[in-house]
C-alpha cells in the first residue's frame, strides 16, 4: 500500500514534503501571524507617538517625504538626527509608495520587520537545531514579554536593530564553523551600522569569543565526536577573500552614506553623530551618569522586562557551562550564544546610558537558550498539551495588549493630549487661516506631526523678531504665553486669539494668535530692495552735426 502511494506521487510529478519540514514551516507561519496580529493591535490602539521620544523619528520621516532629506534628517528643533537612517528610510519609502501620507503603520513598519523577524528567525533556528518545540518556545519567548509587546510597534530603532544583530551573529557562527560566508556577516554588520552605529558589528561578533572556549575544552570531553565542522573548512586564501569582499561592501555602504551626509551637513553632522552620539554616549549619559555607575541596572532590566524568557535564559546559561552538548555543532552554537549574551550584557551594563530596550539585540541568544530549556522542561508532557500551552501564551499576550492599548491607555493624560492635538489639527485644517504661514514656538512637535508638516520651532525671542519683521502674522504658543506676550509688547505688537485648543496637560494646551501692530495693522515684510540702476551706456559718437 505504501509503495503504491509512493509510485502514484512519483508518477504524478508531486514531491512529498517531509513531515519535519512541514512542521518547521507551520511554526514559522504561526509565529509570523502572531507578530502581525500583535503589531496590528498596537498600531490600531491609542496612538502614543507623543511618548518615548517617538516624535523625532516621525519628523525625520516627514523631512524625507516632504523635503527629500535622504542623507541627513533634522527634527523639529533643527537638530541633526543622531542615528543613521535605515529604519527611517523604510518608513519613508512605505509612505511614498502609498500616497505620500506619513501614517502610523508606516512609522511602525521597521519595528514589525525587526521584532517579528527576530521571532521568526529564532523559531526557525531553534526548530532546526534543537528540534521538538524549541523553535515554538523561542519565537514565543520574543513576543510574550513586556519588551516584545512594546518594541514591535515602537517608532524607534531598537526593534529593527535587534534583527540586524541577530542576522550578523548567526552569520558569524556559520562562518566560524564552515570557514565560508563572512560576506554575510559584514553585510548584516553594515545594516546594523546604518541602523544604530558600529556597536552592532561588535554585538554580532562578540560570540566568536567561544572559539577560545571550544578550542580549550572540546578535546577534553570524554567520547566527544571530532570537533571539526560538518563541512570542510575553506582555505586561508578563501577566508581572506571572503573578508575582503565583505569589508569592501561594508565600507561602500556605510562609508558612502557617511560621506554623503558629511557633504550635505558639514561639520555639524560630525559633531552630532561622532561627538554627541558615539563618543558622548560612551562616556556620559544624558542624565550625567558615567561608565560603571549603573552597572546593576541592565541585569535587573533583563530579569524584569524580558520575563519569563529571562528565567529560562539563566537556566540555559547554567546548563551550557555545567553540561555542554556532546555534538560539536550544537556545542559550538550554545557556547556562541552564551558568549553573545554574556558579552553583550556586560557591554550594556558598563555603558552610562541605560534603557531596557537596549537589550533587544540579545534577543536571539535569549530565545534559543530559553526555548531549548523550556522544551526540555515540558518534554514529558503530551504534544497536545504543549500546543495548548503555546496557544494559551499567545492568547494571553494578545489579550493583555488589547486591554492595555485599547482600554487602559485611554486614561493616560499624555495620550489624551495627543488625541486632543490630533483633533486640533483636523479642526485647524478646516479653518481658512490654516493656509497662512504659521510660526511654531511649542517645545514639542505633536501638533506639527498631526498636521503632517515639517516646520522647525522658534525660540520665543526669535519668533517675536520674525513676527515684527512681518515674516508671518500667525503664531502658535503653549507654555511660553507670558514670555511671548512680553516680547511682542516690547516690539509694539499686539495679538488676537484665533483659536484655543485645550489638552489634559499644560504643556500641550495650544493657542494660535494673529499678530498686529498697536494701530491695528498687521506687520508687513519690508519691500524687496530695488535692483541697482543699470549703468548709463557710453555716449555714441554720431559724428559732426548737420
Separation of alpha carbons 74 and 67, rounded Å: 11
By the 10 Å C-beta count (0-12 exposed, 13-18 middle, 19+ buried), 250 is classed as buried
Helix/strand/coil for 495? strand
State the DSSP H helix or E strand holding residue 377, giving kind and residue range, or none if neither.
Answer: helix 363-377
| Rounded Cα distance, 366 and 370, in Å | 6
Reported as type and span, the H/E element at residue 476 is strand 474-477
270 alpha-carbon distance from chain centroid: 22
Structure-block grid coordinates of residue 195: 541602523
Radius of gyration of the chain (CA): 30
The DSSP letter of residue 15 is: -
Backbone angles phi, psi at 440, to 5 degrees: -105, 130
DSSP track, 300-313? HHHHHHTTTHHHHH
Alpha helices in 17-102 (DSSP H): 19-44, 55-67, 86-97
Strands 438-440 and 493-501: unpaired
Rounded CA-CA distance 227/219 in Å is: 8
Query: What's the CATH number for 413-517?
Result: 3.40.190
Q: Where in the chain is the domain with CATH 3.40.190?
A: 413-517
Picking from 124, 198, 191, 202, the residue whose alpha carbon sits closest to that of residue 362 is 202
Contacts of 445 (CB under 8 A, 6+ apart): 55, 56, 58, 59, 75, 76, 457
Q: Is 369 exposed, middle or buried (0-12, 13-18, 19+ CB in 10 A)?
A: buried
3-state secondary structure of 125: helix
C-alpha cell at 301: 532590566
Tallying the residues shown for the chain, one arrives at: 546
What are the angstrom distances between the C-alpha of 363 and each of 3, 233, 321, 376, 377? 46, 29, 20, 20, 20
Q: Is the CB of residue 514 less than 8 Å from the CB of residue 432?
A: no
Q: Give CA–CA dist 56/74, Å, rounded.
A: 8
What are the 10-residue block averages of pLDDT along the chain, 546 residues in total? 41 43 84 98 95 94 96 92 96 96 96 98 94 93 96 97 98 94 97 96 97 78 49 70 96 97 94 81 62 88 96 97 91 96 96 91 98 95 94 96 96 95 94 93 87 89 93 92 94 94 92 84 60 50 37
- Residue 58 CA to residue 445 CA, distance in Å, equals 9
Helix (H, G, I), strand (E, B) or coil at 515: strand
Q: Confirm if 173 and 64 have CB atoms less than 8 A apart.
A: no
- pLDDT of 286 reads 56
pTM for this structure? 0.88
Cell 516624535 belongs to 55
Residue 146 CB neighbour total at 10 angstroms:
14
Q: What is the pLDDT of residue 176?
A: 94
Q: Do residues 488 and 460 lie in contact, with contact meaning Cβ atoms separated by under 8 Å?
A: no
- Residue 191 CA, chain-centre distance (Å), reads 12
Where are the strands (E) in 392-472, listed by range?
438-440
Give the strand order in the sheet containing 493-501: 438-440, 474-477, 510-517, 493-501
State the DSSP code for 529. Answer: P
Three-class SS state of 510: strand
Q: Cell match 573548512: residue?
A: 233
Separation between Cα atoms, residue 309 and residue 326, nearest integer Å? 25
Q: The dihedral of CA 326, 329, 332, 333: what is its sign?
A: negative
Nearest to 79 by CA among 507, 456, 476: 456
**CA atoms of 246 and 240, how far apart (whole Å):** 10
Amino acid at each position: 500500500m505504501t509503495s503504491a502511494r509512493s509510485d502514484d506521487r512519483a508518477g504524478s510529478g508531486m514531491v512529498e514534503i517531509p513531515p519535519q519540514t512541514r512542521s518547521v514551516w507551520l511554526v514559522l507561519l504561526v509565529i509570523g501571524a502572531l507578530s502581525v496580529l500583535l503589531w496590528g493591535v498596537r498600531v490600531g490602539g491609542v496612538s502614543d507617538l507623543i511618548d518615548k521620544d517617538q516624535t523625532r523619528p516621525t519628523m525625520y520621516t516627514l523631512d524625507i517625504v516632504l523635503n527629500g532629506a535622504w542623507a541627513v534628517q533634522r527634527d523639529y528643533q533643527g537638530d541633526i538626527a543622531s542615528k543613521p537612517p535605515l529604519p527611517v528610510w523604510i518608513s519613508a519609502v512605505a509612505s511614498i509608495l502609498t500616497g505620500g501620507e506619513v501614517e502610523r503603520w508606516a512609522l511602525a513598519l521597521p519595528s514589525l520587520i525587526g521584532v517579528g523577524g527576530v521571532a521568526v528567525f529564532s523559531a526557525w533556528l531553534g526548530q532546526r537545531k534543537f528540534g521538538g518545540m524549541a523553535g515554538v518556545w523561542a519565537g514565543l519567548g520574543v513576543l510574550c514579554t513586556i519588551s516584545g509587546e512594546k518594541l514591535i510597534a515602537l517608532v524607534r530603532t531598537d526593534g529593527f536593530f535587534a534583527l540586524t544583530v541577530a542576522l550578523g551573529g548567526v552569520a558569524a557562527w556559520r562562518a566560524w564553523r564552515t570557514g565560508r560566508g563572512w560576506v554575510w556577516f559584514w553585510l548584516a554588520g553594515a545594516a546594523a551600522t546604518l541602523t544604530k552605529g558600529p556597536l552592532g558589528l561588535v554585538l554580532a561578533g562578540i560570540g566568536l569569543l567561544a572559539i577560545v572556549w571550544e578550542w580549550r575544552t572540546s578535546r577534553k570531553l570524554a567520547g566527544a565526536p571530532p570537533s571539526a565542522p560538518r563541512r570542510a573548512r575553506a582555505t586561508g586564501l578563501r577566508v581572506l577573500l571572503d573578508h575582503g569582499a565583505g569589508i569592501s561592501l561594508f565600507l561602500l555602504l556605510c562609508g558612502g552614506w557617511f560621506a554623503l551626509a558629511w557633504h550635505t551637513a558639514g561639520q555639524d553632522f560630525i559633531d552630532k553623530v561622532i561627538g554627541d552620539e558615539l563618543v558622548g554616549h560612551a562616556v556620559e549619559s544624558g542624565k550625567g551618569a558615567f561608565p560603571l555607575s549603573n552597572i546593576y541596572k541592565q541585569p535587573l532590566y533583563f530579569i524584569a522586562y524580558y520575563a519569563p524568557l529571562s528565567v529560562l535564559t539563566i537556566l540555559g546559561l547554567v546548563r551550557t557551562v555545567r553540561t555542554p552538548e556532546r555534538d560539536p555543532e550544537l556545542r559550538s552554537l550554545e557556547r556562541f550564544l552564551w558568549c553573545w549574551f554574556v558579552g553583550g550584557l556586560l557591554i550594556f551594563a558598563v555603558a552610562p546610558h541605560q534603557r531596557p530596550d537596549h537589550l533587544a539585540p540579545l534577543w536571539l541568544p535569549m530565545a534559543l537558550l530559553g526555548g531549548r530549556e523550556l522544551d526540555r522542561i515540558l518534554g514529558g508532557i503530551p504534544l497536545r498539551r504543549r500546543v495548548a500551552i503555546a496557544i494559551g501564551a499567545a492568547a494571553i499576550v494578545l489579550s493583555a495588549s488589547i486591554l492595555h492599548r485599547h482600554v487602559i491607555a485611554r486614561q493616560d493624560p499624555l495620550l489624551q493630549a495627543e488625541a486632543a492635538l490630533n483633533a486640533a489639527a483636523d479642526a485647524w485644517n478646516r479653518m481658512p487661516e490654516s493656509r497662512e504661514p504659521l510660526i511654531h514656538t511649542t517645545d514639542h512637535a505633536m501638533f506639527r506631526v498631526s498636521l503632517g508638516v515639517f516646520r522647525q520651532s522658534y525660540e520665543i525671542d526669535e519668533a517675536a523678531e520674525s513676527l515684527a519683521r512681518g515674516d508671518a502674522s500667525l503664531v502658535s504658543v503653549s507654555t511660553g504665553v507670558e514670555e511671548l506676550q512680553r516680547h511682542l509688547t516690547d516690539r509694539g505688537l499686539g495679538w488676537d486669539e484665533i483659536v484655543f485648543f485645550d489638552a489634559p496637560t499644560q504643556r500641550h494646551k495650544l493657542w494660535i494668535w494673529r499678530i498686529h501692530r498697536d494701530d491695528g495693522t498687521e506687520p508687513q515684510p519690508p519691500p524687496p530692495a530695488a535692483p541697482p540702476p543699470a549703468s548709463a551706456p557710453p555716449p555714441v559718437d554720431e559724428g559732426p552735426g548737420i
